[in-house]
């Protein structure tokens, strides 16, 4: 078939096939070119600009913090003089990492999940993560005790694990100096999610759309979802600065996700001064502590919101968030061994 008349889907498959075939060649060219180079740290992760998942947002903040200290960070390359590498979960080219890895480089694997529990189905990703961890990692960073114990329940023994929670960029996510009083207006509640994974809690939002007292509460959702709401204010996925501004105009954050190991969405809300009504699942209890209240089922949320509103100042005062500089220090401790 002439390429000029080839259907678009077939042409896309051809291009992707050529890209996959060319990847090892590109890797070898890059490997040769990097032998005389050096960086303080290599990071293997497929970075994405704009609104994206929590791991991507955290790693962007971490790299900015390290570079702000004068450290040099290279991405998806380990130069000949580089002695430490952080590789993220499964979000990188496995074969490229194997080509660049050396025994004189300290290899640290940042692992979240388990992915099967988080997504609600097992497509083999956790097995691939376990395999590359066993093969290449000198140490592992997990984001919560929940994540570490959940891997152990699956029989996955991560290499020399350390628990270091994520945090956020404080130049973007920070609280207001003073807040608008509640008197004379509705209580503003917000939930956010970049992913439309059903485990993100769309069932809770759908129930609240039908049953919440909308004369008392204004419920906003920012992000992606397959649900269509009648009374929930929806914003779509918005860039971090705009999201932070929206969070700061809210009163309470709603975290309805299941099996979330270390929700960056929750951390962003806490950083903006919002107490959290959270599903008692995953790493939420570790992150929120006394700065919120748990629920098990959607029907419990209105009562939890009522109590949070009554205790709003005390719950806000209980917010504890690790500073980015402290988290970066802990990462460097593990990377230096």
Coil vs helix vs strand at 22: helix
Q: Is the sign of the CA dihedral 273, 217, 238, 118 positive or negative?
A: positive
pTM as predicted: 0.88
CATH of domain 187-317: 3.40.50.2000
- Tell me the per-residue pLDDT of 215-260, one tens digit each, with 9 for 90 and over: 999 999 999 988 899 999 999 889 999 999 999 999 999 999 999 9
**91 has a pLDDT exceeding 90:** no
pLDDT at position 11 is 40
Residues 120/199, Cβ–Cβ less than 8 Å: yes
Which CATH code, of 3.40.50.720, 3.40.50.300, 1.10.3720.10, 3.40.50.2000, is assigned to 27-167+324-336? Answer: 3.40.50.2000
Asked if the domains at 27-167+324-336 and 187-317 fall in one CATH topology, the answer is: yes
| Domain map (residue ranges) of the chain | 27-167+324-336, 187-317
Task: Work out the end-to-end distance of the chain between its first and last CA atoms, rounded to an integer number of angstroms.
Answer: 57
Neighbours of 18 (CB within 10 A): 10
| Cα gap 267→58, rounded to integer Å | 10
Q: Write down the pLDDT at residue 20.
A: 62
């Amino acid at each position: 078939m002439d390429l000029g008349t080839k259907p678009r889907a077939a042409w896309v498959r051809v291009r992707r096939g050529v890209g996959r075939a060319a990847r090892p060649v590109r890797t070898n060219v890059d490997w040769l070119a990097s032998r005389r180079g050096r960086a303080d740290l290599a990071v293997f992760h497929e970075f994405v600009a704009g609104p994206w998942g929590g791991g991507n947002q955290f790693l962007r903040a971490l790299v900015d913090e390290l570079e702000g200290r004068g450290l040099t960070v290279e991405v998806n390359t380990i130069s000949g003089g580089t002695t430490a590498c952080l590789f993220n979960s499964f979000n990188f080219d496995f074969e490229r990492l194997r080509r660049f890895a050396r025994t004189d480089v300290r290899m640290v694997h940042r692992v979240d999940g388990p992915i099967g529990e988080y997504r609600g189905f097992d497509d083999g990703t956790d097995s691939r993560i376990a395999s590359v961890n066993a093969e290449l990692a000198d140490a592992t960073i997990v984001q919560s005790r929940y994540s570490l114990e959940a891997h152990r329940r699956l029989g996955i023994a991560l290499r020399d694990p350390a628990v270091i929670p994520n945090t956020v960029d404080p130049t973007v996510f920070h609280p207001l100096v003073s807040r608008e009083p509640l008197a004379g207006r509705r209580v503003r509640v917000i939930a956010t999610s970049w992913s439309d994974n059903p485990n993100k809690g769309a069932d809770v939002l759908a129930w609240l759309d039908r049953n919440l007292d909308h004369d008392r509460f204004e419920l906003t959702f920012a992000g992606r979802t397959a649900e269509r709401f009648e009374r929930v204010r929806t914003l779509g996925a918005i860039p971090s600065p705009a999201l932070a501004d929206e969070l700061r105009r809210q009163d309470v954050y709603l975290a309805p996700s299941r099996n979330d190991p270390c929700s960056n969405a929750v951390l962003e809300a806490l950083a903006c001064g919002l107490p959290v009504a959270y599903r008692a699942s995953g790493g939420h209890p570790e992150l929120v502590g006394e700065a919120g209240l748990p629920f098990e089922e959607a029907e419990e949320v209105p009562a939890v919101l009522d109590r949070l509103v009554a205790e709003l100042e005390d719950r806000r005062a209980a917010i504890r968030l690790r500073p980015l500089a402290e988290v970066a220090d802990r990462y460097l401790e593990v990377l230096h061994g």
